[in-house]
Amino acid sequence: HAPCQEASKLIKSYLMCHLNEWEEERSTDGSKWRFLEHNGPVFAPSYEPLPDKVKFFYDGKHMKLSPPAEEVATFFAKMLDHEYSTKDIFRKNFFKDWRKEMTSEEKSKITDLNKCNFSQMNDYFKAQSEARKQMTKEEKRKIKEENERLLQEYGFCIMDNHKERIGNFRIEPPGLFRGRGDHPKMGMLKRRIRPEDIIINCSKDSKQPKPPPGKKWKEVRHDNKVTWLASWTENIQGSIKYIMLNPSSRIKGEKDWQKYETARRLKKCVDRLRTQYRDDWKSKEMRIRQRAVALYFIDKLALRAGNEKEEGETADTVGCCSLRVEHIQLYPKMDEQEFVVEFDFLGKDSIRYYNKIPVEKRVFKNLQLFLENKQPEDDLFDRLNTSILNKHLQELMDGLTAKVFRTYNASITLQQQLKELTTSDDSIPAKILSYNRANRAVAILCNHQRAPPKTFEKSMQNLQTKIDEKQIQLSTARKQLKAAKADHKASHDDKSKKTVEVKRKAVQRIEEQLMKLQVQATDREENKQIALGTSKLNYLDPRISVAWCKKYAIPIEKIYNKTQREKFAWAIDMAEKDYVF
Ligand SMILES: *[C@@H]1O[C@H](CO)[C@@H](O)[C@H](O)[C@H]1NC(C)=O
Ligand SMILES: *[C@@H]1O[C@H](CO)[C@@H](O)[C@H](O)[C@H]1NC(C)=O
Ligand SMILES: *[C@@H]1O[C@H](CO)[C@@H](O)[C@H](O)[C@H]1NC(C)=O
Ligand SMILES: *[C@@H]1O[C@H](CO)[C@@H](O)[C@H](O)[C@H]1NC(C)=O
Ligand SMILES: CC(=O)N[C@H]1CO[C@H](CO)[C@@H](O)[C@@H]1O
C-alpha cells in the first residue's frame, strides 16, 4: 500500500509542476499561445425550400412564400406545439421580425399572425423527424461518418505543441430566440451567421482557415492574448460569441483549477474580510457603509454583483449592486424572527430570486437609512456600482470577485454536507443519493431553480410502475422461499436444501433491485425543481467530489457524465481521497 501512496504523490507533484509550468509559460509576456492553427467554424447548412405539396395558408387561402419568408415561417411552424408559440410577446416579436423578411407584396397581404395557418408545415416537420427515427442502419452510419469527418477536419486545432479539441466548432443554425424565463426578446429572429460576420484568430505563421468559396471573413486577427479561435456578434443581445477550446483542453483545465485555488485562498482570509465589512457598517461615509452591506449580501446570500454583461438593459434583471428599493421589504419582526429582509427580484437569466432572511441589527438599520426618502424605482445602493465593488474586492484579495464567494460557499457547503450525510455502511445507491442531496443543498443556495421537466410526471409514473412490479415479484419470491423451506423441513434432502439457497438468493437480489428503484424515485422527486448541472459544472471544486468517490469506492461515472469527466480530467487525475477544500 505504501508504494501506491508514494506513486500517487509523485503523480500529483508532477501534475502540480506542470500546472505551474503552464502558468509560467504565459505569465512572462501575457501571451496565451505562440502558435495557433485551425480550420475555422462549420456553418449551418443553407436553407432548403419546402416541397410544393407543403402549403401555407393565409386567411384560409393558399399562399406561396418567398424563400426568405418561408425559412422564417418554418422556425415558427416547428414550434407550434410548444408553449412559446402561444405567448403574446413571443408571437409579437416573431411577427415583427418575420415581416422584415417578407417581400413587399407578402408584407401587404400578411398582416395578422392569427390568420396564418402553419399546420401543413408543422405536419411535414413531424413526419421528417419520424422518418429520421426510422432510418436504416446504413443511413445512420453515413451520417455518423460525415460527423466524424467534420470533427476530424474542424474539431481540432494546434496550439503550440498540442493538438487540442475545439469546444463548439459548429455555428448554431438560425431560429427563433427563446431565452429563459419571460424574456422580453423571445420570438425574435436569431439571424444566420455568415462568413462575413466571423473574426478569425490564429497565428500569422499558421495555415489560415479558408472561408467558404466566394466568401470572405470579416477579419483575420493574430491576437495571442486571447484563447478564442473565432468570434462573431449575435443579433439578439448584441453579445459576442466565441469558438473556444474544449473544456478538457490544457488551458481550460488550468483556468478551472485556478478558479478553485482562488476560492481556497478566500477561505483563508474570509474571517479578516468579514471583520472588516462589519466595521465598515459603522463608517461615517455612506459609500463605505453601502459597500459593506452589499458585500455582506454577497457573502451571506451568494448574490451576483449585478450589471453583468449584456443583461440588465433589456430583460429587467438585477444583481446586488443594482437592487432597487422595490426589490426589498424590511420587517422589524416577522414570525418570531427579528430584522427580516425579504428579497424579490429577477436575477440572471430572468430567474426569480425570492428569499426572506434575518440579518444583523446593524445591517437592518443601515438598510432603513438607505431607503430613506427614496422612490420604489430608486437604487438601494445609490453610492455603489459594480465597478466600484469589483475594485474594492480586488483590493481585499487578489483575484476576488463576487463569483469567488459563490464558488467558495458552494464548495465548502458541498464538503460539509457530504461529511454530514454520508454513512460508510450505506449501499452505493444510498451514498449516491446522499451526494445528490449535498449537491442540491448547494443548488438551492445558488438559486439554481428550474421548471419541472415536461416529462416529469410521466417518468415518475413509469418508475412507480416498475416499483409496483418489483414489489409483486418480491412477494412471489418470498412465498416461494417459504414453500422451499417447508419442503426442506419435510424432506431434509440435499436437493431441497439447494432450492432454499437459490430462492433465498433470488429474494435478496430482488430486494436490492427494489431498494435501488426506491432510491431513484426519491432522488428524482427531490430534484424536481432544482437544476444540479450549473453548480456542478461551475461552482463546486471537482476535487471534493473526486475525493469523496475515492474514499467510498464509488465509480466516478456515477457522479460525472462523459462531458463532465472531460472537463474535470485535471481533478480526476490529481485529487486524493483526503483532499480538503
Ligand atoms: C389549417 O389548414 C388545414 C389544412 O391544411 C386545415 O385542416 C385546418 O383546419 C386549418 N386550421 C385552421 C385553424 O384554419
Ligand atoms: C454559505 O451561505 C449560507 C447561506 O447564506 C450561509 O448560511 C453560510 O454561513 C455560508 N457558509 C460559509 C462557510 O460561508
Ligand atoms: C461607478 O461609479 C463611479 C464613481 O461614481 C464612476 O466613476 C463610474 O463611471 C461608475 N461606473 C459605472 C459602470 O457606472
Ligand atoms: C452531462 O450532464 C450535463 C448536465 O450537467 C448535460 O448538459 C450534458 O448533456 C450531459 N452529457 C452527456 C454526455 O450525457
Ligand atoms: C488585436 C485585437 O484586435 N485583439 C482583440 C482580440 O479579441 C479581444 C477580445 O474580443 C479584444 O479585447 C482584443 O482587442
- Tell me, yes or no, whether 18 and 146 share the same domain: no
d(CA 22, CA 33): 10
Which one-letter DSSP state was computed for residue 134? T
- Residue 346 CA from chain centroid, whole number: 18
Is the residue at 451 inside a domain? yes
Give 223 Cα–ligand 5 centroid separation in angstroms: 7
- Tell me, yes or no, whether 403 and 520 share the same domain: no
d(CA 233, CA 176): 16
CB 231 within 8 A of CB 199: yes
Q: Where a domain ends, among 81, 106, 136?
A: 136
- Tell me, yes or no, whether 182 and 318 share the same domain: no
Indicate if the alpha-carbon torsion angle 244, 249, 252, 256 is positive or negative. Answer: positive
Q: What is the span of the domain harbouring residue 439?
A: 421-574
Ligand closest to Cα of 77 equals 1
Q: Where a domain ends, among 183, 217, 243?
A: 243
The CA-atom distances, in angstroms, between 98 and each of 36, 235, 458 are 40, 15, 36
CB 544 within 8 A of CB 411: yes
The x, y and z cell numbers of residue 439, run together, are 449537491
Q: What residues pair up with 338 in beta bridges, in sequence order?
A: 333
Is the residue at 49 inside a domain? no
Is the residue at 385 inside a domain? yes
Counted domains in the chain? 5
Q: Is the pTM of this model over 0.85?
A: no
Mutate to test the pocket of ligand 2, among 272, 300, 411, 544 (most ligand atoms within 8 A of CB): 300
Q: How do beta strands 199-201 and 219-221 pair?
A: parallel
Give the ligand 4 atom nearest the CA of 561: 1
Helix, strand, or coil (residue 511) = helix
pLDDT recorded at residue 572: 86
d(CA 110, CA 31): 54
Give 224 Cα–ligand 5 centroid separation in angstroms: 9
Q: Is 117 in the pocket of ligand 1 (CB under 6 A)?
A: yes
- Tell me, yes or no, whether 114 and 142 share the same domain: no
Is the residue at 343 inside a domain? no
Is the residue at 351 inside a domain? no
539 counts as catalytic: yes
Q: Is 137 in the pocket of ligand 4 (CB under 6 A)?
A: no
How much of the chain is in helix, strand and coil states, percent to nearest 5?
55, 10, 35
For every one of its 581 residues, what pLDDT tens digit does the chain have, with 9 covering 90 and above?
Answer: 444 455 444 444 444 444 433 333 333 455 677 788 899 999 999 999 999 999 999 999 999 999 999 999 999 999 999 989 999 999 999 999 999 999 999 999 999 999 999 999 999 999 999 999 999 999 999 999 999 999 988 998 888 777 888 888 999 999 999 987 788 999 999 999 999 999 999 988 888 899 999 999 999 998 888 878 999 999 998 888 989 888 777 777 778 888 999 999 999 999 999 999 999 999 999 999 999 999 999 998 888 888 655 444 456 788 899 999 999 999 999 989 999 999 999 887 777 888 899 999 999 999 999 999 999 999 999 999 988 999 999 999 999 998 899 899 999 999 999 999 999 899 898 999 999 989 988 888 776 767 777 888 888 899 999 999 999 999 999 999 999 999 999 888 888 899 999 999 999 999 999 988 988 888 888 777 777 777 888 899 999 999 999 999 999 999 999 888 988 888 887 777 889 99
Ligand closest to Cα of 273 equals 2
Ligand 3 pocket: which residues have CB below 6 Å?
385, 387-388
- Tell me, yes or no, whether 118 and 150 share the same domain: no
Is the residue at 558 inside a domain? yes
d(CA 96, CA 76): 13
Which of the residues 124, 154, 296, 539 is marked catalytic? 539
d(CA 94, CA 185): 9
Ligand closest to Cα of 226 equals 5
